[in-house]
Amino acid sequence: MKNKQFTLPLAYSLAAAFITLLICSKSSPLYPINDWVDANTYLTVGRGMLHGKVTYRDLYEQKGPLLYMLHAAAAAITEKSFLGVFIIEVAACTAFLYESCLLLSGNGKKCRLWLLPVISGTIYASRAFCHGDSAEELCLPLTLGAYMLGLGAVRGKRPFSGREWFVLGVLGGAVLWIKFTLTGIFAAPVIAGIVLAFRQKRGGELVRGLSLCVLGAAAASLPAIAYFTVNGALDDLFSVYFYDNIFRYGGTDGGFIANLGDGLNFCRMFMPLPAIIICAGLVLVPLREGKTAALYFAGAVASTAVFAFGGHASYQYYPLAMAVFVPHALCSLADSIKVKRPFPRHFTAAASLCGLVLCGLWCGLTCRNVYLMKYSRDELPQYIFAEAVSENGGGALLNYGFIDGGFYLAAGQVPDFHYFCLNNMDIPEMKSAQDHYISSGKAQFAVIRSASPFPEKFPEDYTLISTAKMCYYDKLFYYFLFKCNEDDKKNTSAIE
């Protein structure tokens, strides 16, 4: 019986995750490519790691090392597509939905499986999901797991066990090395654990628990630290991932209050249904579970928002970090609906199956990514240019002047350029280095993107050999492929 209680929710979570992401994520096999620039930078660095490139030192990107390790694992499955990424996305979504099922069945309630497609459909079909494969998406099972540890302690009015402190540390360490601005939610369970220990006068256990928490974070940090230590690149890790992200991340903002307001407004714009559910939770959790649970829920929402939005002007996918609160809020919402008699077992089974079908229909009708399904690879700039590079003798390709557009993936190349694309960092040497790759002829081919039908720059001593156009983020872009026409500038050796 216990085995069935485990396998059925897990299998249902997997089915809901697969159906949802098959439609919503551009990493899905139904799509010719995931054309999101961020996803391509992650996979390019991950592919580079498989070929001996050291993150930050050899390939400059600013996200966390664990994120790139995950994409190296995805590339180990296949380097020719996003299939490996899709598998990781499905695994992460399955874990998130299974945790949601555990939360929904808390306090002795039966797991309401039919709510899982509601959770996945409202979150992953939202515009905040963006194209798929964001750090926010992959961290959802980690942050929900941490939140549930604190919620279990709050509901039971008990301190954390030593094992719970350790697990909390492991989860926090993992999120730290994926994207440190997503660690805000951990303030809630840590504070809850401290307060509960003091209330029961267990100071000694608290010291031991906090020590185990730090030990868990250290254990999660070990792969990253070991990787950069072995490669002699610890300085690159801390200078890029921490210093550059904190002090050199590009763009302008209006300060903490303006950034926070901007992020909350983005929740309304790009994740409206989850935002409504979370707001309902802020009202219903106090009514259903009392003051302590309400403080915990509200505190976790606040700390997550402060860390995720306060440091910088938001991007469309930032609100996805707040989706971690949808399961608890939806649980309170479902508990508020009074049913006079329980539904028959066959009815709940039918509702669960219908939920999967309706989830697929909802995703297909509301997800903004589905437009890309109608294209074949032969119609995309990435693969048109890959064919042109091959027909013109091959050679080093440079994604010149914009964030990685998937041209390295399509061409089957691992770039040797340190600044293999132009990202959001405010680093003058990045642009000058890319210009040097062109002026020296080290890039035999260069891809340029423009919002107009004409290239914004025309590299000297290069010939335009192919053009293409494609919509991205609801905006039409034009792409241009240039070939170096000076044979004496060609250089196929290692590029600095």
Each residue's pLDDT tens digit, 364-410:
999 999 999 999 999 999 999 999 999 999 999 999 999 999 999 99
pLDDT at 491: 46
Average pLDDT over residues 303-308: 98
Contacts of 40 (CB under 8 A, 6+ apart): 34, 403, 404, 405, 406, 408, 409
pLDDT at 150: 97
pLDDT at 190: 98
pLDDT at 283: 95
pLDDT at 493: 41
Average pLDDT over residues 451-457: 91
250 band by pLDDT with thresholds 50, 70 and 90: low
pLDDT at 433: 97
Average pLDDT over residues 227-237: 97
254 band by pLDDT with thresholds 50, 70 and 90: confident
Lowest-pLDDT range of 115-119, 224-228, 302-306, 342-346: 342-346
Structure tokens at 223: 């792969």
pLDDT at 208: 96
More confident residue, 432 or 424: 432
1 band by pLDDT with thresholds 50, 70 and 90: very low
List phi, psi (to 5°) of 402: -155, 170
pLDDT at 343: 63
4 band by pLDDT with thresholds 50, 70 and 90: low
Q: Which residue has the tokens 């509200």?
A: 298
Q: Is the pLDDT of residue 107 over 80?
A: no
Handedness of CA 300, 303, 307, 313 (dihedral sign): positive
Q: Is the pLDDT of residue 284 over 60?
A: yes
Q: Which of 217, 249, 224, 218 is nearest to 238 (CA)?
A: 224
Q: In Å, how far from its chain's centre is CA 442? A: 33
More confident residue, 488 or 259: 259
pLDDT at 341: 63
For the chain, percent of residues with pLDDT exceeding 70: 94
List phi, psi (to 5°) of 25: -90, 130
489 band by pLDDT with thresholds 50, 70 and 90: low
Structure tokens at 65: 């090392």
Q: What is the DSSP string of 68-99?
A: HHHHHHHHHH-SSSSHHHHHHHHHHHHHHHHH
Q: Exposed (0-12), middle (13-18) or buried (19+): which is 248, by Cβ within 10 Å?
A: middle
pLDDT at 494: 40
Average pLDDT over residues 107-115: 76
Average pLDDT, the chain: 93
Rounded-to-integer distance, Cα 324 and Cα 304, Å: 10
Rounded-to-integer distance, Cα 412 and Cα 417, Å: 15
